Amino acid sequence: MANKKRIANRLSSLKDIPGVSVTKNGDTVRVKHSAHHSLDFRFQWIETHFAGYFVDKQGNESQAVVHLRTGLDAIHFASAATLRAKVKRV
């Protein structure tokens, strides 16, 4: 349970990126970007980890594309997302 909370908190830090919103609802964390052509993510807690799915603007969801098992995994994901957001703004 500690890992679940730790990972969810790390994902929540993505809301500090301009245009990004994060919502938590039970075992689900959604990360959305306001840009029209961006992909959003849905993270679902599955027993021991969060599985992450791409979600397009029409609500279509991919197969799981990332698994976050530790707080460090979430930090790596958040760092990559932050870098990607900075590159898109340049």
How many CA atoms, within 13 angstroms, populate the side-chain half-sphere of residue 19? 15
Return the domain boundaries, the chain: 2-89
Cα separation, 59 vs 5, whole angstroms: 26
Cα separation, 60 vs 65, whole angstroms: 14
Q: Tell me which range, 39-43, 44-48, 55-59, is most confidently predicted by mean pLDDT.
A: 44-48
Count of CB atoms within 10 A of residue 78's CB?
19
- Mean pLDDT computed over every residue of the chain: 84
Average pLDDT of span 53-76: 88
- Helix, coil or strand: residue 41: strand
- Helix, coil or strand: residue 40: strand
Question: Is a pLDDT exceeding 50 seen at residue 90?
Answer: no
Structure tokens at 60: 């279509």
